[in-house]
Amino acid sequence: MNVIARNICSAALRVARQEPSVKSFCKTLPNFQPARFKSNAVTFPAGLIFRQLFDYQSYTYTYLLGDDETTEAVLIDPVIELVKRDARVIEDLGLKLIFALNTHVHADHVTGTGELKKLYPMCRSVIAEVSKAKADVHVVEGDAITFGRFTLKVVSTPGHTEGCQTYILHQNGKSVIAFTGDALLIRGCGRTDFQQGDSAQLYDSVHDKILSLPPQTFLYPAHDYAGQTVTTVEEELRCNPRLTKSKEEFIEIMKNLNLPYPKAIDRALPANMVCGVFDTPTS
């Protein structure tokens, strides 16, 4: 297990949230007021194949989305070591991969996009133009990635890195699922102390572009360190220990996280600038 990654998260959460002990936590339960959270499980579009996949090493979520009619599919944030697993799922579900997207230039793992292009010659890699990373398709705010009957809208959400993007799936003109990368994590957010990180910018990005979506929009992040798999706009507006704070308080929290230097960054950054095929075996 990536103990460092877990420690980073635990420490960060403790700082931001000042979690009560189990004992004091128990005491809060009898007074608990139901938040009347409304489920929106039914809003997943008909005909969408959706799979969430996880990397136990870097705690990264990879997402597979496909159209069950045309079989066209996209992968968001694949991990190089798990390309074979991802390809097996794609094959099992009868899909053909046409896009491999990164939400940003990752610092904690090497992207699988380059290796996937070797397996699927029709697959094109996608990343933000502003990232300056190599890819087949460079996108900016407002662009759309289409697979079959579905479209992911590109929304620029800088702050963790300057090239961070959120990919939003719409149905009937309404957002139903947003893939938030490291901009917004479940009850957290990406760090802002390297790679052009900017806390004020991250705060604005998340509030203006993600937490302003309809409350029942599902949010799927690039990572989780507590075994959680999904959240919603409504939940994060109410429960995110950092982003429910004022901008000034948020900046102060982010300034004092005191996180260690990311273990994989020196290997990951140069590789991810070239689709993950830098200094890796060619198969």
Residues of this chain that interact with its own copies (CB under 8 A) are 1-2, 6, 22-23, 25-26, 28-29, 32-39, 41-42, 44-56, 62, 66, 68, 71, 82, 84-85, 87-89, 91-96, 118-120, 226-230, 235, 238-239, 283
Strands (E), the chain: 48-55, 60-67, 72-76, 96-101, 124-128, 137-139, 144-147, 150-156, 165-171, 174-181, 218-221, 231-232
Output the smallest distance, CB 240 to its own copies, in A: 10
Q: How far is the CB of 52 from its own copies (least distance, A)?
A: 5
Residue 78 Cβ vs its own copies, minimum distance, rounded to whole Å: 11
**Cα 214 from chain centroid?**
18
How far is residue 269's CA from residue 134's CA, in Å, rounded to a whole number? Answer: 12
Residue 13 CB, nearest approach to its own copies (Å): 11
Contact criterion met (CB below 8 Å) for 130 and 163: yes
How near is the Cβ of 265 to its own copies at its closest, in Å?
21
Whole-angstrom distance, CA of residue 236 vs CA of residue 47? 28
Rank residues 227 and 260 by Cβ distance to its own copies and give the closer one.
227
Please name the residues in contact with 167: beta carbons below 8 A apart, sequence gap of 6 or more: 76, 101, 103, 145, 152, 153, 154, 155, 178, 179
Question: Which residues are 73's β-sheet partners?
Answer: 66, 97
The distance of closest approach from Cβ of residue 18 to its own copies in the complex, given in angstroms and rounded to an integer, is 13
- Render 183-220 in DSSP notation, one character per residue: TSBTTB----SSTT--HHHHHHHIIIIITTS-TT-EEE
- CA dihedral in degrees (21, 27, 33, 39; nearest 10)? 50
Of 228, 218, 189, the C-alpha closest to 104 is: 189
By C-beta, is 48 or 189 nearer to its own copies? 48
Give the Å distances, CA to CA, from 16 to 10, 69, 280: 10, 45, 38
| Closest approach of its own copies to the CB of residue 181, in Å | 18
Comparing CB distances to its own copies, the nearer of 246 and 283 is 283
- The nearer residue to its own copies, 83 or 155, going by C-beta atoms, is 83
Specify the residue, 140 or 226, whose C-beta has the smaller distance to its own copies: 226
Which is closer to its own copies, CB of 25 or CB of 212?
A: 25
Select 212 or 229, whichever has its Cβ closest to its own copies. Answer: 229
